[in-house]
Chains A and B, each alone.
Chain A
Amino acid sequence: MSVFGLKLEHLSFGYGADPVLKDVSFTVERGNFCALLGPNGAGKTSLFSLLTRLATTSTGRIEIAGIDLGTSPRAALARMGIVFQQMTLDLDLTVRRNLSYYAALRGLSGRDAERRIDAALERLELGEKSSVRARDLNGGHRRRTEIARCLLHDPEILLLDEPTVGLDPASRAAITDHVHRLCADEALTVLWATHLVDEVRAEDDLVILHRGGVLAHDTARRIAGGQTVEKVFLDMTAVTS
């Protein structure tokens, strides 16, 4: 068994002649929370497309919980929980129906699915919202529903692409807390893409992505080196701009 939850080796990717990702390599240890910090246009979403196999590249290799995504995509996808940047709930369905639809896409049904849905709603403190239509939820609750949904099949890795975009500060803090807690309590490996420095905690792993390349990878505390992460991040991305 690999000790790595997530391993990226020499990934390059581009649309036509424009390289979007250039030789990206980093690893996230099992059970760690890794923030992928980068300004808009750094290549975070492209990296997520590769990680979720919505796009592929012939250069480089991705390993998910010890499984090669390129050669065993379905086994790798089965171990991932994904929250995309764009909301993917069906607004006309209730929270519970959204979750049961997702469960069915993963082959889960009947009592097993119901039990998992109850547990996931409980974990994200959404129990009382289960029969509310997604359209009637606020942005924070919609995101929480998506996080609850991506936990249904007991993934080992959570991939979240800017999950707090468009949320108010209180909801943002609540969601960041929730996912940190999940990571700590259940030893989930988390990759959390963001451009918001305040979502990164000192003990988190931090990968700084800029113009498609990795500028730094260590714990946030070490990268900050006595300064704030924000200052270091701004300095790093400004120097190379």
Chain B
Amino acid sequence: MKAYLVALRAIVEREVLRFVAQRGRFVSALVRPLVWLLVFAAGFGSALGLSIIPPYNTYVTYEVYIVPGLCGMVQLFNGMQSSLSLVYDREMGSMRLLLTSPLPRWWLLFSKLAGGTAVSILQVYAFLAIAAAFGIVMPPAGYLLVLPVLCLTGLMLGALGLALSATIRQLENFAGVMNFVIFPAFFLSSALYPLWKMAESSTLLYRICAVNPFTHAVEAIRFALHGQANLPAIGWTLVAFVLFLGLALLGYDPTRGISRKRSAGG
């Protein structure tokens, strides 16, 4: 058991150290949601009327409404970036180092996910701190209560990235990930508008939004930030995590996975 924890710690530490060393990645991880929060929300908020819906018990500004969605976006981007770094890592060989460790593969991949999640949580808290500096604050307890939810949502979005990296070779360029994963996940969710708004314009789109795991991640974060547990959303996020992790494990199984499909020279 000790060996497992030693490996987990080393992998998480390595991910965090790498992230801290890459200042550019930190800055862009923060600029992205801040542009949405400070620019997009200013323009779009006035066009969108929000009604009082749970977990809010009063009218909230649009900025307050989209903070949880942007927390989710930070984690979504980070999950995809980690998956790309896996593809890159695999080319560079350090993934080979990981996969030839005698520890079980599921544990190694889980550790890798935990590392990516830790990085995404650092990003989310930095974002929340800057938002607070601009006067967009959540209830104080929310900042603490959101932590366990962020662990789960980070793992789920990381596992999605891992599953994609294991199965789809074309995802090596980020534009493809943006077009086919990040944008649909983000726009077909409750990140930018409540789902009842979507239902007014299209039932089909509403249904897609309602099954989108990213919607459930955002709602779990939203409720936690306001001191409440949205159990169905947490449950769906958990189910999605298990599903994506299962797909990722299949993808990295040497008897059927990508290592088999990839040709090697020499």
The 10 closest A-B pairs by CB, nearest first: A107-B3, A104-B10, A45-B266, A88-B93, A78-B102, A86-B93, A105-B101, A45-B264, A77-B102, A109-B6
List the one stretch of B65-73, B200-208, B252-260 in contact with chain A: B252-260
The answer to whether the Cβ of B23 comes within 8 Å of any Cβ in the partner chain is no
In the bound complex, do residue A105 and residue B10 qualify as a contact, i.e. CB atoms below 8 Å apart? yes
In the bound complex, what is the Cα–Cα distance between A85 and B91 (angstroms)?
A: 11
State how many angstroms separate the Cβ of B109 from the closest Cβ of chain A. 13
In the bound complex, do residue B266 and residue A55 qualify as a contact, i.e. CB atoms below 8 Å apart? no
- Interface positions of B from 1 to 28, Cβ below 8 Å from A: 2-4, 6-7, 9-11, 14, 17-18, 21
The answer to whether the Cβ of A10 comes within 8 Å of any Cβ in the partner chain is no
In the bound complex, do residue B96 and residue A88 qualify as a contact, i.e. CB atoms below 8 Å apart? yes
Say which residue of B2, B94, B100, B101 sits within 8 Å of A54 (CB atoms). B100
- Closest residue to A109 on the B side, CB-wise? B6
In the bound complex, do residue B14 and residue A101 qualify as a contact, i.e. CB atoms below 8 Å apart? yes
Residue numbers in B under 8 Å from A53 (CB-CB): 100, 254
| Between-chain CB contacts (< 8 Å), 11 pairs | A49-B259, A56-B254, A78-B102, A86-B92, A88-B92, A88-B97, A90-B14, A105-B7, A105-B101, A106-B103, A107-B4
In the bound complex, do residue A82 and residue B100 qualify as a contact, i.e. CB atoms below 8 Å apart? yes
Q: Place the interface of chain A in its size category.
A: 35 or more
- Closest residue to B98 on the A side, CB-wise? A105
In the bound complex, do residue A106 and residue B18 qualify as a contact, i.e. CB atoms below 8 Å apart? no
- Interface positions of A from 25 to 54, Cβ below 8 Å from B: 38, 40-46, 48-49, 52-54
Contacts A44-B266, A101-B10; A90 near B103 (Cβ below 8 A)? no
In the bound complex, do residue A85 and residue B266 qualify as a contact, i.e. CB atoms below 8 Å apart? yes
In the bound complex, what is the Cα–Cα distance between A75 and B254 (angstroms)?
A: 16
- Interface positions of B from 99 to 114, Cβ below 8 Å from A: 99-104, 108
- Closest residue to A108 on the B side, CB-wise? B6
- Closest residue to A74 on the B side, CB-wise? B102
In the bound complex, do residue B18 and residue A92 qualify as a contact, i.e. CB atoms below 8 Å apart? yes
Contacts A44-B266, A54-B96, A105-B7; A74 near B21 (Cβ below 8 A)? no
State how many angstroms separate the Cβ of A30 from the closest Cβ of chain B. 20
Residue numbers in B under 8 Å from A100 (CB-CB): 10
The answer to whether the Cβ of A120 comes within 8 Å of any Cβ in the partner chain is no
State how many angstroms separate the Cβ of B131 from the closest Cβ of chain A. 31
The answer to whether the Cβ of A87 comes within 8 Å of any Cβ in the partner chain is yes
In the bound complex, what is the Cα–Cα distance between A56 and B252 (angstroms)?
A: 12
- Interface positions of A from 141 to 188, Cβ below 8 Å from B: 161-162
Since A45-B266, A86-B91, A104-B10 are in contact, a sample of 19 more A-B pairs with Cβ atoms closer than 8 Å, ordered by chain A residue number, is A38-B266, A44-B266, A45-B265, A53-B254, A74-B104, A84-B93, A85-B266, A86-B93, A87-B93, A90-B18, A101-B14, A104-B7, A105-B10, A105-B11, A105-B101, A106-B101, A106-B103, A107-B2, A107-B7
Residue numbers in A under 8 Å from B101 (CB-CB): 77, 105-106
State how many angstroms separate the Cβ of B227 from the closest Cβ of chain A. 38
In the bound complex, what is the Cα–Cα distance between A170 and B99 (angstroms)?
A: 32
- Closest residue to B21 on the A side, CB-wise? A92
The answer to whether the Cβ of A206 comes within 8 Å of any Cβ in the partner chain is no
In the bound complex, do residue A40 and residue B96 qualify as a contact, i.e. CB atoms below 8 Å apart? no
In the bound complex, what is the Cα–Cα distance between A241 and B96 (angstroms)?
A: 32
The answer to whether the Cβ of A80 comes within 8 Å of any Cβ in the partner chain is yes
The answer to whether the Cβ of A220 comes within 8 Å of any Cβ in the partner chain is no
In the bound complex, what is the Cα–Cα distance between A104 and B103 (angstroms)?
A: 11
- Closest residue to B260 on the A side, CB-wise? A55
State how many angstroms separate the Cβ of A74 from the closest Cβ of chain B. 4
State how many angstroms separate the Cβ of A193 from the closest Cβ of chain B. 7
In the bound complex, what is the Cα–Cα distance between A203 and B260 (angstroms)?
A: 35
In the bound complex, do residue B7 and residue A88 qualify as a contact, i.e. CB atoms below 8 Å apart? no
The answer to whether the Cβ of B263 comes within 8 Å of any Cβ in the partner chain is yes
Contacts A15-B263, A107-B7; A52 near B100 (Cβ below 8 A)? yes
State how many angstroms separate the Cβ of A154 from the closest Cβ of chain B. 13
The answer to whether the Cβ of A102 comes within 8 Å of any Cβ in the partner chain is yes
Residue numbers in B under 8 Å from A48 (CB-CB): 266
Say which residue of B11, B97, B266 sits within 8 Å of A41 (CB atoms). B266
In the bound complex, what is the Cα–Cα distance between A100 and B174 (angstroms)?
A: 32
Residue numbers in B under 8 Å from A56 (CB-CB): 254-255, 260
